[in-house]
Chain A
Amino acid sequence: MIWGVLQFPGSCDERDALHACEVVGGEARLIWHEERDLGGVDAVVVPGGFSYGDYLRAGAIARFSPAMEAVAAHAAAGGPVLGICNGFQVLCEAGLLPGALLRNADLRFVCRQADLLVVDGPKTGLSDGFSAHQRLSIPVKHGEGRYYAPEEMLDALEARGQVAYRYAEGHNPNGSVRDIAGVRNEAGNVVGLMPHPEHAVDPLTGSTDGRAVFKALERAAA
C-alpha cells in the first residue's frame, strides 16, 4: 500500500496526514503540487491547510495545480481519494465532489472535538467496513466548513447514498445543511470530509477513531 499526500504552498496538515497513513500501515510520500505524475501511489490524500492562503476562495486556486489534474485522472480510473478539510474544499472546487463549503454560520473559526455518524454507502464506497451508524470522535478545525448544496441536489445525493458522514446531534459546528460532514462521489471512490481523521490516530493527542477513515480508504484501494 502506497499513500500519496499532496502538498501545496500553504498546506498545514500534510505531515500529520503522512504520519496517519504510516500509522494505519504502508508507505506514505508527499507529492509536490507541481508534479504531473502521482508516481504510482495506490491512494491519494488531499490534506488540510490553507492552500494558496485560501485567497479568492478556499481551494479555488489549488484545484488548478498540475497534481490535481493527475488526481482527477486517478479518480476517473477508480483510484481512491480522500479530501480532508481544505482537501475537501479543493475536491469540491475541482468538481470531483458535489456541493460547496461556505463560511461557518457564526463567522468564526472553530476547533473542537466532534462526534460523527458514518452513513451507509455502496459496497464500493469508503464506508465499506464501518458498521452502519458507527459513531466516531474526530476533531474539526476550520473557518469555512458549512456544507451547502441546493435542496434538489441534496435529495439526489441522499437517494444515491452520497452522504458519507454526518455530525451527530448537537455536534454540527458550522451550520452545515442536514448535518453533512462529508460526502462521496457517485462511484464512491472519492470522499471528502471537514473533520480531521489524521488528528485522531494517536491516543495521546485525542481519539484513535480517525484510523477507521484511513482503513476504509486502504480497503477501497485493495
Chain B
Amino acid sequence: MSDASTGTPRHRELGLTDDEYALIVTELGREPNAVELAMFSLLWSEHCAYKHSRKLLRRLPTEGPRVLMGPGENAGAVDVGSGYAVAFKVESHNHPSAVEPFQGAATGVGGILRDVFAIGARPIAVLDSLRFGELDSVRSRHLLDGAVRGIGHYGNSIGVPTVGGEVYFEEPYEHNCLVNAMCIGFARTEEMVRAAAAGVGNAVVLMGASTGRDGIGGASVLASAELGEGDEAKRPTVQIGDPFEESKVLECCLELLAKGLLVSLQDLGAAGLTSSAGEMASAGGVGIDIDVGAVPLREADMEPFEVMVSESQERMLAVVEPAKVDEVRAICDKWQTGSAQIGVVTDSGHIRVLKDGEVVGDMPVGALVDGCPLYDLAPAASAAWIYGNRRTLAPDAGSAATLLALLAAPSIASKKWIFRQYDSIVGSRTVRRPETADAAVLQLPESGNAIAVSIDGNGRKVACEPFNGTVEAVLECAQNLACVGAEPLGLTNCLNFGNPEKPVPAWQLDRAISGLAAACEELGVPVVGGNVSLYNEGPDGPIYPTPVVAMVGELPDPARTAPAAFAKEGDAIGLLGPFTPTMHGSELAKQRGELAPGLPEPRVAAVAEACATVREAVRAGRVASAHDISDGGLACALAECAIGAGIGCRADLQELRERGCTPEEALFGEGPGGFVLTGERGELEALGARVIGAVGGTTIELAAGDRSLVLGLTDAAEAWRSLDDRAESVAEPPADA
C-alpha cells in the first residue's frame, strides 16, 4: 500500500521498515489491509514492542522473596505483610509533554494511575521525575509551568496525593523535556488481578469514556521517533485527560473487583484497544473478537482502524463471565460511567475485528503482539564529551559565593513552588511531606506498617559514565530510603535515552542497563517492572541518558522515621559511609563549564553496609536527623539540613581531607555513600560515624583549609528558596507554541 499523493509506502509513514512489513506479509500470508496495517504499526512500534531494548532488559534481576508481580504485568507488586501488597510503576510521557505540556503531563498521570488500578490496587500516591532545559529559557519555564499544572490538575482532582519527586534543569533537555510519572497502589493481595484474558465465550466489556479521534498514532508517530521540525502538527496526537471520568472509572473498577465480578482487567493506553485486547489475548493464550460497531463513539463516522487505535483516555477493558455482564454494567451505571460489551473471548488465537458482521481485520495474536523482531544494538563508546559546557560561575569564586551559587542552582534549590501546587495529603497516609525527608513516607494502618518511596536519576552523571552513573542513581535511592528507616523491597525504572539506532545512545543504553542490573544484583533489590522511552533527541543531539529509578521500601513503624533537617541546637553532626567525593559530573563542574567523561566506580557493598547502619539507627531512634549527601556535596547537604531547621552549624571537613580530598572536593565534591546524621555524640560514634561538628548558631561555618567558609543562614536560605520567584516569572509561551 502507498500514499498516492507522496508515493511513500504507507507502512513507512506509519513507522515500519520494509523488512518489518515483509515479515507481516509472511505472517499473514497476504498483504495486510488498512485496519491490520494500522494495528501492526502500533504494536510493532518501539513504544509498544521495546524492539531495541527488550534483549538488554533480560539482564535485570526480577526475582525476590517479596515479589508478587513482576515485569509483564500492568504494574509490579511486592508483599508488605498481613495480606497486603504495594503495587508501583513509573512511565514516561515525554514527547506528548514536549508538544503540549499540560495535557501531556496530565494524561501521563492518568495513564499510570490506570496501570495501577488495573491490577486491583487503589492508587495512594504519585511521584514525578521531571527534566527541562535551563530555567533561564522561556521554553523551559513554559514547559515546567504546563507540566506542573497538568500533574496537579489530574492528581489533585482525582484525590491521589503527589508526595514527592525530583526535577533537574539541564541544557540537553531543552527541546525534549522528560515527564516520568510514578504511581503507588495498595491492595489486598488476594484481590489483585492479572491482565490475562481467559474463558472462551466470556464477554469483553469496554468501560469508561467513549472513543474519539484523539491520540491516534500517539505511540508510533509521536513516541517512537525523534522530535523535530513540524511537531506542532503532531499536537492532535496528544490525548486530552478528564480526571473526573477517571475518578468514576477507578471507583467503579475497584468495586467490581472487590465483588469478584471480573475475570481480568486491563487499561487502555498507548495503541488503545489494539494493545489491550492483544495483550490480554496473548497473556491468556486465547483469541478475541472485537465488534467496532458496539464501541461507544464520540463521532459516529469513525473508521474501524480509528476505533482500534484511538488513545482516548479513561477507558478500561474487562473480561466478564456472560452471566455477570448485567451486574457489571449496573455498577458502571451507578458510577455514571460508560460500559458496552464489545467482544468475546474465542479459542481462535486470532484478534478479529468485525464491523456489521463483516470481518475487517484478522491477525494471529502471536504475530501481532510478540512477532515484532527484536534488534541488537550497534553500540560505540564515546571517549569525548558530546554535550555542551557553559560556564556560569567563575572558577575563582570564593567558597561562600560558590555555596550560594550551588544552593540557588535550580536543580538543587527548594522545589516548594512546585510541590505546593500538588495535594500531598489526601488519603491521610502522608507521614513525611515533600522536602521534609529524603524519601516520601506513607503509613499503611491496614497492615500496621509503612512504606517509603524515592525516585532518582541524575542524567549528568550517567552522561559522564553510563554504567557508574546508573549505579549511583540506584544507590541514591537506597540511601534516601535508609534515611527514613526503610528497607528496599523492589525497584522500578524508566529508561529515557536517545535514538537507539545511533551508536552513542545505544552504548549509553547498553551500559546503563548493565549498571542497573549490577547494582540491583549486589543490593539484592529485584526489578519488578519498567518502562523504556527512546528517541529522546532534539536538533542538538540526544538528551542526557536518564535512567530514572524508583525504589519502594518498608519500615515497621511510621512514627520512627528521621527528618532531613537538623533537630536541635547542640546535637553533634556525624559523617557516615564510604564517601570520597570528586568533581566528576558535579553541579560545580557544570557551573564552571568543566564537565568531562569519567565517573569513579562506586563501592556498592560498602554503601549497602552504610545504608543498613543508618536504617537500623533511624528505626531505633538513635539519630535525630538523617540526610544523604547528594548534589552540591557535603556543603550543600549541611546547608539544606540547617535551612530546613532554621538553625546553623559548624563543621570541620578534615575527615574528608584525610580521605585524600582537596578542600574544594571536601566541600562541593559529589559521590555516593555519604550520610549526614545528627544526635548524641556517643551514639553517632557508636554507629561508626565520624563526628565533624555541631548544630547551632545562625551561620554555616565550614572549616576546609584554605577554602573555609562562613555563610549567614538567612543568605543561604534566600538562595535555596529563590526558585519560587524565578519559576513564577512565566513569560508568554514561545512564539511557535
Contacts and interface: CB of A to CB of B under 8 A. Distances in A.
A54 to B, nearest CB: 7
A202 B428 contact: yes
A11 B43 CA distance: 37
Nearest to B428: A16
A55 B243 CA distance: 11
A53 B421 contact: no
A199 interface: yes
Interface residues of A, number: 29
Given A12-B158, A109-B156, A206 B425 contact: yes
Given A50-B244, A109-B152, A204-B558, A12 B443 contact: no
Nearest to A23: B428
Given A10-B247, A53-B244, A55-B244, A141 B427 contact: no
Nearest to B443: A204
Contacts of B247: 9-10, 12, 50, 53
A11 B427 CA distance: 12
Given A111-B425, A112-B420, A204 B244 contact: no
Contacts of B243: 50, 53
A49 interface: yes
A35 B248 CA distance: 18
B426 A141 contact: yes
Most buried by B among A13, A112, A141: A141
B264 interface: no
A121 interface: no
A205 B124 CA distance: 14
A52 B248 CA distance: 10
Contacts of B419: 111
Contacts of A141: 156, 423, 425-426
A28 to B, nearest CB: 14
B424 interface: yes
Given A108-B421, A111-B423, A10 B248 contact: yes
A41 interface: no
Contacts of B156: 50, 109, 111, 141, 143
Interface string A182-222: 00000000000000101100101110000000000000000
A30 to B, nearest CB: 12
A15 B425 CA distance: 13
Contact of B420 (A110, A198, A202): A110
A10 B244 contact: yes
Contacts of A49: 159
Contacts of B157: 10, 12, 50, 53-54
Contacts of A205: 425, 428-431, 443
Nearest to B336: A9
A13 B420 contact: no
A11 B426 CA distance: 11
Contacts of A16: 426-428
Interface in B429-444: 429-431, 443
Contacts of A112: 420
B242 interface: yes
Interface of B: 149, 152, 156-159, 242-245, 247-248, 335-336, 419-431, 443, 558-559
Closest 9 CB pairs of A and B: A53-B244, A12-B159, A50-B157, A141-B423, A16-B428, A109-B421, A199-B425, A109-B152, A111-B423
15 contacts: A15-B427, A19-B428, A49-B159, A50-B244, A53-B247, A54-B244, A108-B149, A109-B156, A110-B421, A111-B156, A112-B420, A141-B425, A199-B428, A205-B425, A205-B428
